[in-house]
Structure 1
Amino acid sequence: MTARPANAHQARLLALLRDAGPHSRAQLGDQVELSRSKLAVEVERLLDTGLVVADGLAASRGGRRSHNVRLSPGLRFLGVDIGATSIDVAVTNAELEILGHLTQVMEVREGPVAVFEQVLAMAAELRDAGLADGFDGAGIGVPGPVRFPEGVPVAPPIMPGWDGFPVREALSQELGCPVMVDNDVNLMAMGEQHAGVARTVADFLCVKIGTGIGCGIVVGGNVHRGTTGSAGDIGHIQAVPDGRPCACGNRGCLEAHFGGAALARDAEEAARQGRSPELAARLAAHGGLTAADVAAGAAAGDATCLDLIREGGTRTGQVIAGLVSFFNPGLVVIGGGVTGLGHTLLAAVRTQVYRQSLPLATGNLPIVLGELGPIAGVTGAARLISDHVFSPA
């Protein structure tokens, strides 16, 4: 098993090398508040652990040239993003660059045993491709609330059979490395924070619109999970009084009116009622419709598809407007499978938020699509486990 840093100074040095790449000792000294002698001691201790290695001579700053140090090129993290209808698995190096990435269609409803068999098979495929001898840690995202300290899903509405399943413990035994588990939206937020559109923002919201709808809340650079792990469960905020029944047992939830499943249902209804020749043709060809069909219809200029997206974007915008007035973020990121709906969706969300929230909160508020797309979750998962491995034992 990988050694862990012995103290907070070493943890800070590891995070710096992860986020900014190789540094000379002099550059490290510029960024951490340590005397030269204390810095030299901590770097030597990290070299002894094997977590960092010498990496050639640094550029001269006058006087004797120092060596660069970098994170060990042999470190490997596994990022796993389990969605409602798909699994993404990736291997990264210590700087969280993705070395290999696999995607597999699979329903989370098939239960934890079947899903984790698939995850382990995908991890083995990446390992056998020569990308890793083993893993130094794994981060796992699941589409429901997680009791974070134990790494256990709690009462997830769309995940029958998962309540209380010991995800962290089971996978740690199978993979032979530390494992951390979090909600998939929190990991998307961490991914965008590490390598995406939120790199320079300390307080932001990351809204994932997929089969369901959730929100990652980042405060002062850290994910806010709430007391029981259900912070940001905005799909179950009421958007339509006395509206449609929702999987959670209430009526009128945002998710019941605009998530991937609701959009597919509305699209099929429009096709059967003859309101959209484009959707009718797709339904006849495939026997069912998805959000991707609505996106394709909108791109082809189909008025019904555009209306469905605008209506959903307006409802989502109403909920986000309330969050913006309450939280006053510096950025709102929109991601997830439904972002194939792109700028039509974004325009509807923006219009509603800017109309409804106070000008003081929205005067300088960017509302943007995520940059990382399908790798946001696995990047965030690798970030989560690296934070753990690079923290003092």
Structure 2
Amino acid sequence: MGSPSALRKLNDRAALYALLESGPLTRLDLEQAISVSRPAAAELLRRLEESGLARRAGYRPGGPGPQAQLWSIAEGAAYAAGLDVNDTGIDAVIADLGGAPVGTGKSRLAPGDDPAAAVRDLLETVAADAGLTRADVRQVVVGISGSVDPATGRLSHAEHIPEWNGFDVRERLTQVLEVPVAVENDVKLVLSDESIRGRAVGCRDVLLLWIGQGVAIAIIADGRLLRGSHGSAGEMGVVPVSADGPFAGDLLATVGIAALAREHGLPDADPAGLVARAASPDADPPHDGFLSALADLVVDVLASPVALVDPDLVILAGDHGLAGGDELAARVRTRLHQRLVHRPRIVAGTGYDNSVRQGALDESLRRLREKVFADARHHRPADPIHRSTESTSRAADLLGTGSGKGHQ
């Protein structure tokens, strides 16, 4: 049997997750949710309120009184940040402990800029606009358009963002921000986002094919995101589709789709728009032929990974995968099922805005909660001014998120 101290920690942690996922709750609700006695529930609520992690949240309809008192997570007790780093710049969001965004911001890097300093400056600006300081942000996760080697922290497959190459990205950011930082591949974060609130909810074996400026694959196998020994699992852009054939990136990235358009006598200036027009119900014959040829190329790239992983679900994502929608997914499904014994469902991605940033924020919140909930007694309550529900509500309305638990 565990020590009383260890049991208190477990109960505190269970109570906080119950409040997070199902709150606001009365004391009786909490007793039933985590199977503790009435005195134990009362005592842990007292501890959590004292630590600054739980707060009183009014009364259940029916009148005030001890039985009707509601409790919820103290959303302003800690903050997390998620960032999307790509060749257009940096996109950041800060959210409270409950997941509600309190501010967003973007910046661009000029030649010669220090990327870590640019992240610091952007976070300081976003925090200040939300009435916070950068020190209030306790966890940062960065989604980046490249793969991070876990041994060296250096990027690979990231020639398009040269300012981020040649150094330990996680270590540099951790030093400059003075807060724990994790760095994750952007396409893997998109798949993570799909598994939380998109097409892959409830699926344990999923393969996502990203078709955009570049080409990459992300995989969830038996419920776990695959990263690989060098962080490069799924970097399909530089893999030939046959022994002497072209690279997958040459076929399906923007330049490849533009070349395919020219082969069909179609304009190549806007590949994503072209794919969308070709997938429309009233597409003319040249567009229809182009879409069928594109589906063939997608199957050429997908066949080996699907046969190897045996996913239940395949998601077509990225600018071009999303533009093809259900029509491209249906054509890929037909062709892939003709070629393989494995016959997964194939769908277009959800296409939420800012899915990389949201995936980074989801992971940042997960890490923050694990850390903060692990020992509630040692949590340092935030300055009360930072717990303003009014400012949180304004930010959520500004971002169009309502409760703050959807996409930005």
* TM-score, scaled to structure 1: 0.74
Deviates more, 1:70-79 or 1:15-24: 15-24
Structure 2 spans left out of the alignment, 5+ residues: 1-7, 375-408
CA gap of 1:70–1:234, structure 2 versus 1, over 3 A, is: same
Higher Cα radius of gyration: 2
Match of 2:79 among 63, 76, 79: 76
In the alignment, is residue 262 of structure 1 matched against residue 244 of structure 2? no
Q: What corresponds to 1:275 in structure 2? A: 265
Q: Which amino acid aligns with 2:329?
A: L
SS of residue paired to 1:78 = strand
Give runs of aligned pairs for residues 353-372 of structure 1, distance below 5 A. Answer: 353-358=336-341, 361-362=342-343, 365-372=344-351
Q: Is this contact kept in 1: 2:326–2:347, CA < 8 A? A: no
Q: Is this contact kept in 2: 1:143–1:183, CA < 8 A? A: yes
- Deviation (angstroms), 1:264: 3.6
C-alpha distance in structure 2 between counterparts of 1:296 and 1:147, whole Å:
36
Q: Is this contact kept in 1: 2:146–2:155, CA < 8 A? A: yes
Deviates more, 1:135-144 or 1:83-92: 83-92
Give runs of aligned pairs for residues 12-51 of structure 1, distance below 5 A. Answer: 13-20=15-22, 22-32=24-34, 43-51=45-53
Q: What corresponds to 2:398 in structure 1? A: none
C-alpha distance in structure 2 between counterparts of 1:307 and 1:40, whole Å:
68
SS of residue paired to 2:72 = strand
CA gap of 1:154–1:67, structure 2 versus 1, over 3 A, is: same
- Deviation (angstroms), 1:302: 5.8
C-alpha distance in structure 2 between counterparts of 1:20 and 1:220, whole Å:
27
Give runs of aligned pairs for residues 4-153 of structure 1, distance below 5 A. Answer: 10-11=12-13, 13-20=15-22, 22-32=24-34, 43-58=45-60, 64-65=67-68, 67-73=70-76, 75-85=78-88, 87-102=90-105, 113=113, 115-116=115-116, 118-130=118-130, 132-134=132-134, 135-148=137-150, 152-153=153-154
Q: What corresponds to 1:317 in structure 2? A: 299
In the alignment, is residue 294 of structure 1 matched against residue 274 of structure 2? yes
Give deviations 1:226-251, integer Å, cap 9, x for gaps: 222122223344324423xxxxxxxx
- Deviation (angstroms), 1:308: 4.1
CA gap of 1:183–1:301, structure 2 versus 1, over 3 A, is: same
- Deviation (angstroms), 1:274: 8.8
C-alpha distance in structure 2 between counterparts of 1:254 and 1:387, whole Å:
34
Q: CA RMSD in A?
A: 3.7
Q: What corresponds to 1:348 in structure 2? A: 331
Q: What corresponds to 1:191 in structure 2? A: 193
Q: What corresponds to 2:5 in structure 1? A: none
Deviates more, 1:124-133 or 1:375-384: 124-133
SS of residue paired to 1:69 = strand
C-alpha distance in structure 1 between counterparts of 2:12 and 2:297, whole Å:
47
Q: What corresponds to 1:230 in structure 2? A: 232
C-alpha distance in structure 1 between counterparts of 2:19 and 2:97, whole Å:
9
* TM-score, scaled to structure 2: 0.72
In the alignment, is residue 210 of structure 1 matched against residue 192 of structure 2? no
Match of 2:183 among 175, 181, 191: 181
CA gap of 1:67–1:193, structure 2 versus 1, over 3 A, is: same
Q: Which amino acid aligns with 1:94?
A: L
C-alpha distance in structure 2 between counterparts of 1:302 and 1:115, whole Å:
46
Residue correspondences, number: 357
Q: Is this contact kept in 2: 1:144–1:153, CA < 8 A? A: no
Q: Is this contact kept in 2: 1:141–1:181, CA < 8 A? A: yes
C-alpha distance in structure 1 between counterparts of 2:47 and 2:39, whole Å:
13
- Deviation (angstroms), 1:29: 4.7
CA gap of 1:336–1:256, structure 2 versus 1, over 3 A, is: same
C-alpha distance in structure 1 between counterparts of 2:95 and 2:319, whole Å:
23
C-alpha distance in structure 2 between counterparts of 1:105 and 1:349, whole Å:
37
